[in-house]
A and B are shown apart, each in its own frame.
Chain A
Amino acid sequence: MVKAELIKNSPLRILEKSTHGGVGKGNIGIIAARKGVGKTACLVHIATDQLFQGKHVIHVSFSSNTSHIITWYEDIFQEIARRRDLSDAMQVHDEIIKNRVIMNFNQEGISIRQIIKSLEAMIHQGAFAADCIIFDGYSFSKGNPQDFKDLKEFAEGSKLELWFSASLSDDETDFDADGVPGVISLFMEQIAILILLNSHEGNIKLELKKDHDLTPIQNMHLTLDPKILLISRG
């Protein structure tokens, strides 16, 4: 399969269709789930799909080292390339890898302002024309809604698509009438898309909980395959 076909047939096109064009520039999307359900896998798959389309991605993380993040990307790429029998896989890999930067912040309690400053330095001085930024590991329980106002402004100003993961505690029961977990509810004003990963009888379903300001919300018929950790139809 050549790259163009692979992009066309990606299950992420379904996600885009269900959400009326995807997150879109200047907007923020969230994937929320309990620990260990597959938030990082989803984000990396979304990022890899963007990279396949020739877009530039910055992956922001908050851990002690970056090597395991690179491993995530390698694994997801290999899996897609293998399953779709991608032609010239190595060449495609080398091309897209240039369009990805991992920015890790290992300082406890670093402010969103500081992160935005570093991202701006990368985009402007580093001449890295980012299209999409992935934030994996931001703590919503310690975060502050003002952060998201700043982020939204930054996303609009720089024409960026922002994706976050949000970790729900194991005993999270506090969902509102729309199915939005309590820990995120304070931030919803700035959020365009919210997807919940729900583990049900060995399947992980992607449930759309907010689709811009549109209703009714569609069923995406997407799952996260727990064996290969890719978003799939189903």
Chain B
Amino acid sequence: MSMSNPNMRNIGISAHIDSGKTTLTERILYYCKKIHAMHEVRGKDGVGATMDSMDLERERGITIASAATNVEWKNHSINIIDTPGHVDFTIEVERALRVLDGAILVLCAVGGVQSQSITVDRQLKRYNVPRIAFINKCDRVGADPERVKKQLCEKLGHNAVLMQLPIGLEDKLKGVIDLVEMKALYFDGADADTVSCQEIPEELKHEVHKRHEELIDAASLFSDELAESYLEGNVTSEQIIKAVRSGTLQCKLTPVFLGSAYKNVGVQPLIDAVINFLPSPYDIENTALDLDKQEAAVTLKAESSLPPVALAFKLEDGQYGQLTYIRIYQGEIKKGLELYNSRAQKKFRVGRLVRMHADNMEDIEHAPSGDIVALFGIDCASGDTFTDSSLNYAFVSMFVPEPVISLAVKPVDKKSEDNMAKAINRFIKEDPTFRSFVDPESNQTIIKGMGELHLDVYLERMKREYKVELETGMPQVAYRETVSRHVEFNYTHKKQTGGAGQFARIAGIIEPYADGDYLFVDQIKGGVIPNEYIPSCDKGFKKAMEKGTLLGFPVVGVKVTVNDGSYHAVDSSDMAFQTAAIMALREVYNKAQPQILEPIMKVVVESPNEYQGNVYASINQRRGIIVSTNEDAQFSEIEAEVPLSEMFGYSTVLRSISQGKAEFTMEFLRYGKVPQSISENLIKEYQDKKK
């Protein structure tokens, strides 16, 4: 299977949870003749959808891990990267987005554009991913694709244009009208295998005509040829498709398709749309950083004759060891080829090269430029770059947020302890927002992540995949400390009792610093501290700031200016100045009125209007501040800022105050000051624990 570039698509299916993404994915796989039976997400037969590879996901009906699946459609090769729908797993979404060339944004015809659609769309926008929209669930009661299309424009700022109209809605949904070809499409057969193309029903003709004109109007902005043909009255379907494609690739137009994956309506035209409107790797420009040239950006070309550059974007534990999914950005990769991992600075040979299908994998000899395939038995981490040894490239380090929550875990026996180590090793490689360390004081293993649910998923995976029996502590918030006063310090470190002595004196100012975590300013004049010891002072302050004295969390937002000091020709040393700096900070820290900072989360709740009062109350009880509310006929979207420490268990609370109808998303916003009374309690708890 060596297809040329223009016939390849790497796409993602991005969606709000419960908008039917998994069902849609499976329908696509089915129609591409790769799997032989269809199952619902929570199928009665218990088989579950193919893309959900983990039990846990099956149980929750959501998709957590991204996997790449290859299908064929009308002589095109499509790789579907299944992006996770839940915001707690943002890092996985972001990584998957890196390798996409285009996306289908799935929206629910009833629920419309909800808060998570906004998050997902924003991420696609950030990576400049061209997208087409699919309004799913048109068979449901209350389906209103027109309203959803309007929301796409208003809430997400898309220039959306309908490519289809529904024939009937809700339980009367019969098919769709193709506004390009001007035909009615019906889906016949047991599993709607055949698409029958018929005349447009009389009663819809007027509306269809109007929409056809609207479509040409929107499309002609992207093609002079189409605009001219329109004036001359001889527009062809090819011209419309070409114009819409051009608008879509520039992210300036979003063609909107509709149907119901569950009822098998509109799926095949959507796959056609992927080919017609989303880019091939050839259409996309990607850049990497040249590590040999101070990380200068270099443009990659999806041409097989050039040296290979590939990104490892996903690891999975398979039956035969680690499976590494890679996206080839340039050149081609062959079995037996020697590649170079630019992070690990190690060479390795490509052993087994496989293409992943929905239900099996296929061993292949070579993979062309632009393709997404998997390697077996390679030791690497997610995000590593592979090249041949002639290039030393790396991909831009993706934005990785600092973890905001931590949890102590304790295995119950030796076997669990060993397995836990394996599991944690694996997770760290897969997900840079998941961290782990052993607390030297308590000797406990601490895991850190982006939220309660994030850590929950890993705890469950440890239990199921690695058979780890665990006891867990209470989740801990990652606090920070800072200073709020300008203070002067002057500290002399002196140990001159026999043998090699130690001497260092440093003086200067410690003050709040708003623009970053830490700034060191050297204002030493006349060499009162020799140049060689200035970095020692800097290092000492950094060390002292790793742990504040209020709660033992890192100190941030501090500017240290060193403007005086003295040294001893024999007794001064790197160590002596480091110690002096550490002691200087400790000595004046309390005078600088240290304060505790806590992570403040941006919380967006979507709730039916009838429960908005309950939601307001729940935010108020959590020390939250409501920033704004946005209300339409049915739903309120409430944006608030709430301290993370108050958000534990919020999903349960929200469910119970809204009869399960409200939902929320949460992301880290900034660090904010902890109120005095709460600070005092935290400090007291910390002091008690230390005793």
Check if A126 sits within 8 Å of B628, measured CB to CB.
Answer: no
Check if B633 sits within 8 Å of A107, measured CB to CB.
Answer: yes
Check if A128 sits within 8 Å of B626, measured CB to CB.
Answer: yes
Check if B154 sits within 8 Å of A64, measured CB to CB.
Answer: yes
21 contacts between A and B (CB under 8 A): A64-B155, A69-B628, A102-B627, A102-B628, A103-B629, A104-B628, A105-B632, A106-B154, A107-B632, A107-B633, A110-B631, A110-B633, A118-B612, A118-B629, A118-B636, A122-B629, A125-B620, A126-B613, A127-B617, A127-B620, A128-B626
Q: How far is the CA of A126 from the CA of B612 in the complex (A)?
A: 9
Check if A125 sits within 8 Å of B628, measured CB to CB.
Answer: no
The 8 A CB mask of A93-135 against B (1 = contact, 0 = none) is 0000010011111110010000000100110111110000000
Closest residue on chain B to residue A123 by CB atoms: B616
Q: Among residues 597 to 654 in chain B, which have CB atoms less than 8 Å away from a CB atom of chain A?
A: 609, 612-614, 616-617, 619-620, 625-633, 636
Residues of A within 8 A of B616 (CB): 121-122, 125-128
Residues of A within 8 A of B155 (CB): 64-65
Check if A121 sits within 8 Å of B630, measured CB to CB.
Answer: no
Residues of B within 8 A of A102 (CB): 627-629
Q: How far is the CA of A69 from the CA of B639 in the complex (A)?
A: 14
Query: How near does chain B come to A46, taking the closest CB pair, in angstroms?
Result: 19
Among A65, A105, A121, chain B packs the most CB atoms within 10 A around the CB of A121
Q: A64-B154, A64-B155, A65-B155 are in contact. Are A125 and B613 (CB under 8 A)?
A: yes
Q: A98-B625, A125-B614 are in contact. Are A105 and B631 (CB under 8 A)?
A: yes
Given contacts A101-B626, A103-B628, A105-B631, 10 further A-B contacts (CB under 8 A): A64-B155, A101-B627, A102-B627, A103-B629, A103-B631, A106-B631, A118-B612, A121-B616, A125-B616, A126-B620
Residues of B within 8 A of A104 (CB): 628-631
Q: How far is the CA of A104 from the CA of B626 in the complex (A)?
A: 13
Residues of A within 8 A of B632 (CB): 105-107
Residues of A within 8 A of B619 (CB): 126
Instruction: Tell whether A70 is near chain B: CB-to-CB under 8 Å.
Output: yes
The 8 A CB mask of A33-69 against B (1 = contact, 0 = none) is 0000000000000000000000000000000111001
Q: How far is the CA of A21 from the CA of B155 in the complex (A)?
A: 41
Q: Among residues 151 to 202 in chain A, which have CB atoms less than 8 Å away from a CB atom of chain B?
A: none
Query: How near does chain B come to A231, taking the closest CB pair, in angstroms?
Result: 25
Query: How near does chain A come to B256, taking the closest CB pair, in angstroms?
Result: 18
Q: How many residues of B contact A (CB 8 A)?
A: 21
Q: Which positions in B face A, CB cutoff 8 Å?
A: 154-155, 514, 609, 612-614, 616-617, 619-620, 625-633, 636
Query: How near does chain B come to A227, taking the closest CB pair, in angstroms?
Result: 28
Q: How far is the CA of A106 from the CA of B628 in the complex (A)?
A: 13
Residues of A within 8 A of B617 (CB): 125-127
Q: How far is the CA of A103 from the CA of B619 in the complex (A)?
A: 15
Q: How far is the CA of A101 from the CA of B629 in the complex (A)?
A: 8
Query: How near does chain A come to B617, taking the closest CB pair, in angstroms?
Result: 4
Q: How far is the CA of A98 from the CA of B514 in the complex (A)?
A: 20
Q: How far is the CA of A65 from the CA of B626 in the complex (A)?
A: 16
Closest residue on chain B to residue A102 by CB atoms: B628
The 8 A CB mask of A62-83 against B (1 = contact, 0 = none) is 0011100110000000000000
Q: How far is the CA of A102 from the CA of B629 in the complex (A)?
A: 6
Closest residue on chain A to residue B626 by CB atoms: A101
Check if B613 sits within 8 Å of A121, measured CB to CB.
Answer: yes
Q: A121-B612, A125-B613 are in contact. Are A106 and B626 (CB under 8 A)?
A: no
Q: How many residues of A contact B (CB 8 A)?
A: 23
- Main secondary structure, interface of B, reads mixed
In the A-B complex, the 6 residue pairs with the closest CB atoms: A126-B616, A121-B613, A125-B613, A102-B628, A125-B617, A64-B154
Q: How far is the CA of A66 from the CA of B638 in the complex (A)?
A: 11
Closest residue on chain B to residue A106 by CB atoms: B632
Q: How far is the CA of A149 from the CA of B631 in the complex (A)?
A: 23
Complex partner residue of A118 from B614, B628, B631, CB under 8 angstroms? B631
Check if A70 sits within 8 Å of B613, measured CB to CB.
Answer: no
Residues of A within 8 A of B625 (CB): 98
Query: How near does chain B come to A75, taking the closest CB pair, in angstroms?
Result: 17
Residues of B within 8 A of A121 (CB): 612-613, 616
Complex partner residue of A107 from B514, B613, B626, B631, CB under 8 angstroms? B631
Closest residue on chain A to residue B625 by CB atoms: A98
Q: How far is the CA of A127 from the CA of B628 in the complex (A)?
A: 15
Query: How near does chain B come to A110, taking the closest CB pair, in angstroms?
Result: 8
Query: How near does chain A come to B404, taking the closest CB pair, in angstroms?
Result: 21
Q: Among residues 19 to 40 in chain A, which have CB atoms less than 8 Å away from a CB atom of chain B?
A: none
Residues of A within 8 A of B630 (CB): 65-66, 104, 106
Residues of A within 8 A of B629 (CB): 101-104, 118, 122
Closest residue on chain B to residue A126 by CB atoms: B616
Among A69, A118, A126, chain B packs the most CB atoms within 10 A around the CB of A126
Residues of B within 8 A of A64 (CB): 154-155
Q: How far is the CA of A103 from the CA of B632 in the complex (A)?
A: 11
Query: How near does chain A come to B607, taking the closest CB pair, in angstroms?
Result: 11
Query: How near does chain B come to A133, taking the closest CB pair, in angstroms?
Result: 13
Check if B626 sits within 8 Å of A124, measured CB to CB.
Answer: no
Residues of A within 8 A of B514 (CB): 90
Closest residue on chain B to residue A101 by CB atoms: B626
Check if A126 sits within 8 Å of B626, measured CB to CB.
Answer: yes
Query: How near does chain A come to B184, taking the closest CB pair, in angstroms?
Result: 32
Q: How far is the CA of A28 from the CA of B264 in the complex (A)?
A: 56
Q: How far is the CA of A90 from the CA of B636 in the complex (A)?
A: 31
Residues of A within 8 A of B614 (CB): 125
Q: How far is the CA of A102 from the CA of B633 in the complex (A)?
A: 18
Q: How far is the CA of A90 from the CA of B514 in the complex (A)?
A: 11
Closest residue on chain A to residue B672 by CB atoms: A94
Among B154, B625, B631, chain A packs the most CB atoms within 10 A around the CB of B631
Q: How far is the CA of A152 from the CA of B224 in the complex (A)?
A: 57
Q: How far is the CA of A109 from the CA of B260 in the complex (A)?
A: 31
Residues of B within 8 A of A124 (CB): 613
Q: How far is the CA of A125 from the CA of B155 in the complex (A)?
A: 27
Residues of A within 8 A of B636 (CB): 118
Check if B628 sits within 8 Å of A66, measured CB to CB.
Answer: yes
Q: How far is the CA of A98 from the CA of B155 in the complex (A)?
A: 25
Q: How far is the CA of A63 from the CA of B564 in the complex (A)?
A: 59
Residues of A within 8 A of B620 (CB): 125-128
Q: How far is the CA of A122 from the CA of B613 in the complex (A)?
A: 7
Query: How near does chain B come to A213, taking the closest CB pair, in angstroms?
Result: 35
Residues of B within 8 A of A98 (CB): 625
Residues of B within 8 A of A126 (CB): 613, 616-617, 619-620, 626
Q: How far is the CA of A98 from the CA of B626 in the complex (A)?
A: 8
Query: How near does chain A come to B557, taking the closest CB pair, in angstroms?
Result: 13
Residues of B within 8 A of A90 (CB): 514
Query: How near does chain B come to A172, taking the closest CB pair, in angstroms?
Result: 29
Query: How near does chain B come to A195, taking the closest CB pair, in angstroms?
Result: 27
Q: How far is the CA of A103 from the CA of B617 in the complex (A)?
A: 16
Q: How far is the CA of A105 from the CA of B154 in the complex (A)?
A: 13
Residues of A within 8 A of B633 (CB): 107, 110
Query: How near does chain A come to B37, taking the closest CB pair, in angstroms?
Result: 44
Q: How far is the CA of A39 from the CA of B619 in the complex (A)?
A: 32
Q: How far is the CA of A65 from the CA of B630 in the complex (A)?
A: 8
